[in-house]
Structure 1
Amino acid sequence: MSSRIPFYFLISLLVVVGIALSWFRHDVYGVPWVPGETSQVWDVEARIQFTASGDAVKLSMAAPQTQQGFTLVDETASSLGYGIAYLSTDHGRRTEWSIRQANGPQVLYYKSQFLVDPKANFQDTAPIEEKTVNVTFDGPQQLAAQSLLDQARKHSADNTTLTRELIKQFTDGENQNASLLLNNLKKERAISKLLSLEGIHNKVVGALWLEDGRRRQSVQAMIEIWDQDKWVLFNPETGEQGKPENLLIWDDSNVSLLDVVGGKNSQILFSMIAQDISPSQATAKKVVTDDLLNFSIHSLPIAEQSMFKTIMLIPIGALIVVFLRIIIGLKTSGTFMPVLIAVAFVQTQLITGIVGFLLIVGTGLIIRGYLSRLNLLLVARISAVIIAVIMIISVFTVVAFKIGLNEGLSITFFPMIILSWTVERMSILWEEEGWKEVATQGGGSLLTAVLIYIAMTNVYVEHLTFNFIGLQLVVLAVILMLGNYTGYRLTELRRFKPLAED
């Protein structure tokens, strides 16, 4: 008999390394053990798309910086073959990409990381010009502009209140003077021009509303005015004054968000995701690209990070299956089919998922029962079952849509191949063991999938699995230990009940 020392050494090594990696991430990077314990960090990614004309390309994008409520703790830019530079100009920070020759569709990425920090260390930069630039309007627009300013002066006491009154006039759909200016100008540009005409330093800035998991978002134009010693932000759509907590100013250059030379059809969209870390550790994070953070899931694009949030939960489902089968003795149809069904439940919600699973498997068994009478070969029979399952899902989805059950549309998230094999296995089991064994294994699979769903949707489990990859090694060690168990299962102990009664 071979020695078990190497096996126990492997188990111990996995546990120690997993715990060490998790503790390192908590201690060095300040990621909390429980969600919502400390501060938030926002990963905001800009995706730039354009079509290169075949010549040299130079692209300049307004880059964000530390501001009220947010501290910039990291930034990276990536695009194969391009030179990248971070510049400080008279109009603020900018990121530049350049290449000697490029042709066809191009995609560039810029990723920044902001710590939610009420005590962010920043200073408002005063306007460079001593006086505002002279602004004039043409013809009737000049009279409309003067009328708007006269009305705003009557109801204001300083620059801040005058700006607020101007925005009120532009939000009034019946104001003819404002409507006249909006024929040729966007609302924020019209307000900015009026403020300049009044001699008030101002600029148009681009802002982002921070929402966890948000993708393909565009910047929203807002107005900032210089009031004695600070910039005051206004929302030109609502007139709201001040900077909300979930608003990030991305472009404060008052020049342009994106300039492309050597390309056309440019577009910039933003994705964002939030994670929890310790504020005290976040301010000390390295900003160079060879930081350990760049080798973690958080270095991936935002869309891929969202995908990994689900993938990292699968080992937890596997652990539950191993425990229920080896220790409890619960019978399931297939080894890890319940895990995949539980993943589908996460997408469809629990009740909808259970109903859909029962309908698909039940109908599939009826069709499979007919196929068994045709004495088909295994490959042909399985292929026929797969096609039948696809048709069942399609029919149920269309029927659900027609009768107004929008929840039924999510039934397409079920893994079709796994369901087909489940129908095949249960059909064979019915023929060999009877309907009771089918009910036992089918019920066990469904119960296991529900338990896995409960674990996967737990906020603490989601937080730990996504933020502490080292815990996956601990889960692996526990699974290996359970796989070494050769004793009685709990469901088998009922055989000894007569002895206990005696």
Structure 2
Amino acid sequence: MGAPAVEPAARRGPLGRERALRPRHRDDRVRGGARRRGERSGSEERSVTRAAALAGFLLVLLGLAVFGWKTWVYELPVLPTDPEGIWRVEMAVSVRGVGSRGSVRAPLPSTGPGQEVYDERSAADRLLFTIRTENGERTAIWRGAFDGVHEIAYGFRVRLERIETPLPTEAVRPPREIAEQYGGPTREFPSDAPEIAATLAALSLPPASDPAGRMRSVYAMVAHEVGSTEGGADDALIALANRAGSERGKTALLVTLLRGAGIPARPVLGLDLHRGATPRETPWAEAWAGGVWIPLSPAGAFFAERPSHLVALRPGSLVGVEATGAEAISYRYDALREHLRSEELAAMMVPPHRLLRAFSLYRLPVQTQSTLRLLMALPLGALIVAVFRNLVGVPTFGTFMPVLVAFALRDVPVHIGLAMVAAVIGLGVFGRLVLERLRLLLVPRLSILLCMVVLGVAAFALLGHEFERRELFTGVLFPIVILTMLIERFSIAVAEEGMRTALQRASYTLLVTVAVYPVLRDPTAEYVMFSFPELVLCIMGLLVWIGGYTGYRLFDLVRFRSFATLPGGAGAK
């Protein structure tokens, strides 16, 4: 049987010794190295493999240990945290006087269930400002002589959450102070009036051992049998007699009936916050049962829960802003939906442990953080490139060229970015072919290519301005030097390996670029890598495992699949 012709395996050198011929291609060199490694003893090969496996395992374990320490012990958020429900609320009060002394009083919110108040500010305008706290209620007081018009203000930031309160399953005796303050009749809430007793008798309430059932019965009666009218009565008994009243009137009636049923209750004055709308003062009721205050809406909006758009200003009273000694007063509320500021997020993400705090990137200035956020995502891109090159077997122009190109495209849609890169590379390759006839040296040739790339990017910016396509403006941010080197590599590949091979490698480079692109663009990945830089150790461990892998790559299995059809299953020598 005739054997295929092969080249001589060795050639005699000038000293008479034989030297091996160099392999023609890099893949031949790699396969030659693999054969030489295969000739080593099995114990040595296993030792190297174990060392790589152990090193990778230790790196991954160390990174995960620090990551778990931060997330489980100090409860740092794993995903980006910009809590919803953060509002900036401003109250502006205009008061006019003729020189007499007086005061302006306004309810202030407190930190409690469902709301966290912070960053309070005030403006007094020639008046003395104080805050008085009594029975858990905070009141802002401006005192002084009202001479002309005074513009006073108070602002705060609040973080709101939805409250769900479980209903009690059995009766619990309320504390003495709550029973005395919110359980008996008052002028505003006459729970001992005959009309209240008659209404409760007609409801046939459940026994006192079932406070949840009693609350439901009273709530259903006020919410569904008493109408809500704009400008209706604010008095509880008038609203009951007319079977209609304002929000304040229905709230007063609900509190009065609950107290008459033996359940301590109080009104709450709050603000209803909605994006794009002026905050509106709104009342609701709270009933004490099972050891907690249970919110109830007299308009039927909620029962045993409080929505996340309500902030409580004053529990126990429906009195808003009021003044004494003034000729006239007016006030308004304004609100704006906000997010955590950079310094607030940094303060939340710095762990309290001294060692972890020392290595927290959130301690750096905000300008430095913005740059590091981009850089900390690059190891993820390098990991993807290693998977494609070492496990899949995809050839690319340069080791990290796909990462750099993806990094350049992160601010534009991928299809527009790739089209811009392809156009600039096409222009550069054309220029490279023209310059080749001049036989220039390397540095001047690259400099001329750099100038051509700059002109191409500038042309894209002008086109974007002309056709009002903002995406093309971002072309000016391309790393010009990277594109220049990419053009040079493509041109060299065309000259040495042919157009087909060069286009194939360029296509693989763009394929890996598209795979890296969403990772570098993803804000979640950027946040995780910046907040937990120890995960870079995990990536290093994975890269050690990939680097220690000397088996077949996916493309090798495709290239050599024909060997499986030869006699013997793997080909014969």
How does the TM-score come out when normalised to structure 2? 0.49
1:67-216 mapped onto 2 (5 Å cutoff) = 69-70=115-116, 125-127=138-140, 132-137=143-148
**Contact 1:347-1:413 at 8 Å conserved across structures:** no
Residue type at the aligned position of 1:438: A
Name the counterpart of 2:424: 360
Residue 60 of structure 2: which of 1, 12, 15 is its match? Answer: 15
- Tell me how far apart the structure 1 counterparts of residues 360 and 318 of structure 2 sit (CA, whole Å): 39
Matched, 1:444 2:457: no
Name the counterpart of 2:184: none
Matched, 1:422 2:422: no
SS, match of residue 144 in structure 2: coil
Name the CA shift for 1:39/1:28 in 2 (closer, same or farther; >3 Å): farther
- Tell me how far apart the structure 2 counterparts of residues 39 and 33 of structure 1 sit (CA, whole Å): 13
- Tell me how far apart the structure 2 counterparts of residues 240 and 363 of structure 1 sit (CA, whole Å): 62
**Contact 1:124-1:229 at 8 Å conserved across structures:** no
SS, match of residue 147 in structure 2: coil
Kindly state the Cα deviation for residue 368 of structure 1 after the two structures are TM-superposed: 1.1
Kindly state the Cα deviation for residue 405 of structure 1 after the two structures are TM-superposed: 1.9
- Tell me how far apart the structure 2 counterparts of residues 358 and 375 of structure 1 sit (CA, whole Å): 25
**Contact 2:110-2:138 at 8 Å conserved across structures:** no
Name the CA shift for 1:419/1:331 in 2 (closer, same or farther; >3 Å): same
1:364-383 mapped onto 2 (5 Å cutoff) = 364-383=428-447
- Tell me how far apart the structure 2 counterparts of residues 496 and 376 of structure 1 sit (CA, whole Å): 42
Kindly state the Cα deviation for residue 413 of structure 1 after the two structures are TM-superposed: 2.2
Kindly state the Cα deviation for residue 492 of structure 1 after the two structures are TM-superposed: 1.7
- Tell me how far apart the structure 2 counterparts of residues 385 and 230 of structure 1 sit (CA, whole Å): 75
SS, match of residue 434 in structure 2: helix
Name the CA shift for 1:227/1:155 in 2 (closer, same or farther; >3 Å): farther
Kindly state the Cα deviation for residue 305 of structure 1 after the two structures are TM-superposed: 2.6
SS, match of residue 411 in structure 2: helix
Name the counterpart of 1:406: 470
SS, match of residue 359 in structure 1: helix
1:215-294 mapped onto 2 (5 Å cutoff) = 241=333, 246=338, 271=342, 274=345, 286=352, 292-293=356-357
Name the counterpart of 2:497: 433
Kindly state the Cα deviation for residue 33 of structure 1 after the two structures are TM-superposed: 3.8
- Tell me how far apart the structure 2 counterparts of residues 306 and 408 of structure 1 sit (CA, whole Å): 23
**Contact 1:232-1:242 at 8 Å conserved across structures:** no
Kindly state the Cα deviation for residue 484 of structure 1 after the two structures are TM-superposed: 1.8
- Tell me how far apart the structure 1 counterparts of residues 130 and 356 of structure 2 sit (CA, whole Å): 33
- Tell me how far apart the structure 2 counterparts of residues 380 and 370 of structure 1 sit (CA, whole Å): 14
Name the CA shift for 1:8/1:369 in 2 (closer, same or farther; >3 Å): same
SS, match of residue 456 in structure 1: helix
Name the counterpart of 2:362: 298
Name the counterpart of 2:291: none
- Tell me how far apart the structure 1 counterparts of residues 315 and 69 of structure 2 sit (CA, whole Å): 46
Name the counterpart of 1:338: 402
Matched, 1:27 2:119: no
Residue type at the aligned position of 1:301: P
- Tell me how far apart the structure 1 counterparts of residues 508 and 426 of structure 2 sit (CA, whole Å): 16
Q: CA RMSD in A?
A: 4.4
- Tell me how far apart the structure 2 counterparts of residues 421 and 285 of structure 1 sit (CA, whole Å): 43
- Tell me how far apart the structure 1 counterparts of residues 129 and 545 of structure 2 sit (CA, whole Å): 63
Residue type at the aligned position of 2:498: G
- Tell me how far apart the structure 2 counterparts of residues 473 and 273 of structure 1 sit (CA, whole Å): 28
1:27-66 mapped onto 2 (5 Å cutoff) = 27-35=72-80
Deviations 1:436-466 (A, max 9, x none): 1111111111111111112333465344323
Kindly state the Cα deviation for residue 387 of structure 1 after the two structures are TM-superposed: 1.8
Kindly state the Cα deviation for residue 327 of structure 1 after the two structures are TM-superposed: 1.0
**Contact 1:11-1:477 at 8 Å conserved across structures:** yes
Residue type at the aligned position of 2:394: L
Unaligned runs of 5+ in 1: 43-64, 74-88, 93-121, 142-153, 162-224, 234-238, 249-269
Deviations 1:187-229 (A, max 9, x none): xxxxxxxxxxxxxxxxxxxxxxxxxxxxxxxxxxxxxx99987
Kindly state the Cα deviation for residue 414 of structure 1 after the two structures are TM-superposed: 1.5
- Tell me how far apart the structure 1 counterparts of residues 76 and 84 of structure 2 sit (CA, whole Å): 10
Unaligned runs of 5+ in 2: 1-43, 87-108, 120-127, 151-230, 235-247, 249-312, 322-330, 567-573
**Contact 1:11-1:480 at 8 Å conserved across structures:** yes
Name the counterpart of 2:274: none
Kindly state the Cα deviation for residue 469 of structure 1 after the two structures are TM-superposed: 1.6
**Contact 1:31-1:467 at 8 Å conserved across structures:** no
**Contact 2:428-2:487 at 8 Å conserved across structures:** yes
**Contact 2:71-2:77 at 8 Å conserved across structures:** yes
Name the counterpart of 2:542: 478
**Contact 1:32-1:276 at 8 Å conserved across structures:** no
Kindly state the Cα deviation for residue 494 of structure 1 after the two structures are TM-superposed: 2.4
- Tell me how far apart the structure 1 counterparts of residues 402 and 66 of structure 2 sit (CA, whole Å): 30
Matched, 1:396 2:407: no
- Tell me how far apart the structure 2 counterparts of residues 385 and 404 of structure 1 sit (CA, whole Å): 28
- Tell me how far apart the structure 1 counterparts of residues 399 and 419 of structure 2 sit (CA, whole Å): 22
**Contact 2:76-2:351 at 8 Å conserved across structures:** no
Name the counterpart of 1:186: none
SS, match of residue 134 in structure 1: strand
SS, match of residue 135 in structure 1: strand
- Tell me how far apart the structure 1 counterparts of residues 85 and 533 of structure 2 sit (CA, whole Å): 18
**Contact 1:232-1:241 at 8 Å conserved across structures:** no
SS, match of residue 530 in structure 2: helix
- Tell me how far apart the structure 2 counterparts of residues 425 and 442 of structure 1 sit (CA, whole Å): 10
Name the CA shift for 1:408/1:231 in 2 (closer, same or farther; >3 Å): farther
**Contact 1:329-1:492 at 8 Å conserved across structures:** yes
Kindly state the Cα deviation for residue 357 of structure 1 after the two structures are TM-superposed: 0.7
The structure with the larger Rg is: 2
Name the CA shift for 1:500/1:227 in 2 (closer, same or farther; >3 Å): closer
Name the CA shift for 1:156/1:462 in 2 (closer, same or farther; >3 Å): farther
Residue type at the aligned position of 1:135: F
Kindly state the Cα deviation for residue 300 of structure 1 after the two structures are TM-superposed: 2.1
